[in-house]
Amino acid sequence: MELKRVVVTGLGAVTPIGNTKEETWNSLLAGKSGSAPITQFDPSKFKTQFACEVKNLNVNDYIDRKEARKLDRYTQLAMISAIQGVNDAGLDLNKEDKNRIGVIYGVGIGGIQTFEEEVVYYGQNRDKGPKFSPFFIPKMIADIASGQISIHFGFHGPNYTTTSACASSTSALSDAFNLIRLGKANIIVSGGAEAAICESGVGGFNAMHALSTRNDDPEHASRPFSASRDGFVMGEGAGCLILEELEHAKARGAKIYAEMIGEGASADAYHITASHPEGLGAKLVMTFALEDAGIKPEDVDYINVHGTSTSVGDISESKAIKDVFGEHAYELNISSTKSMTGHLLGAAGAIEAMVCVLAVQNNIIPPTINHDEDDKDPEIDYNLNFTFNHAQEREVRVAMSNTFGFGGHNACVLFKKYVE
């Protein structure tokens, strides 16, 4: 069986640095940080009092007010990104076979804000007996974003959610890619969403010592590959990529951003939260993706790394890149856009895949911001080009996106310039 080719024909994004793909991309190229004091709850008693929140978003521009109240924030963001993506793809839904259009989104946690609100209310009023909203469960569950998107558009194709912590939306893209190239769907609306900036989300990650506590300087707190990094900055948002079978896209005259050519998945099988210190799973997943795409390491020009600004993760990923790419590692551009967006958890892979697609299309690499020349970690090889502080123009034939999640889940996707 000959596998079908898969292309990207639409993009959508709601991020801490922009409420559309255009705003997000322009902010990335300008090196803009989305980190600021938390406004969604009073963080004064928390170790971390800042995050990368979505800003100035009017949900009702996209979703009816009454319907929006039935959705957790993560689902609202997911739906907005999908609406943007479908519009960007120029799909004429009156002509499309909706039985051949699916929705696969990645979500790391799901409706944690809804869970928190409902359980706190019950705990405070337990003597009155149970009183829960009938929307509690359907707002909370992680699969509901994909379900709500399919209901909104009437898409009857494959529909589910992938959960692999911070690799969730890369896993979603991988599944969507495989289903299309196997002929199971013409189009899949894919991506991811997360909204965990609430007391239980921030408090839970604080308890693990995972978050930066640079409360005096939030804007510069996310500093991947710098010696003074002290944890990741939590972000929220959603990203959408419309993946489409090539011949179907050509037949309807779709614009094509890039071609998706490979995916990989692996496990560290090492620790529930820490990455393997030698980057074992990271090496495997990049190797698997290259093999799947049928390309050599030398064909890759850019890696959007997981790069969370954590002490162990940044070291192990840079080691893994050197092991997989050899001398070519020094010819690559590498950047962590989490230095600007923060860590969007389950949505990270979708936004970072979009960054790879736009880098391929525009031949420019967004930077890794917040690095000072004298802030070097002896465990990191600075002969690698981390694209520090300023965007760099270069030809980008192939771009790779890495995402690694708690539990040891690793996922990797590859995009290249579309050529007939």
Active site residue 343: yes
Active site residue 52: no
Count how many residues are written for the chain: 420
Active-site choice (220, 248, 306, 371): 306
d(CA 173, CA 191): 6
Active-site choice (166, 198, 356, 412): 166
Active-site choice (248, 276, 343, 371): 343
Give me the sign of the Cα torsion angle 77, 80, 86, 87: negative
Closest CA to 193 of 75, 114, 86, 337: 75
Provide φ and ψ at 158, rounded to 5°.
-50, 135
Token duo for residue 324? 């997989």
Active site residue 166: yes
* Residues with active-site annotation: 166, 306, 343
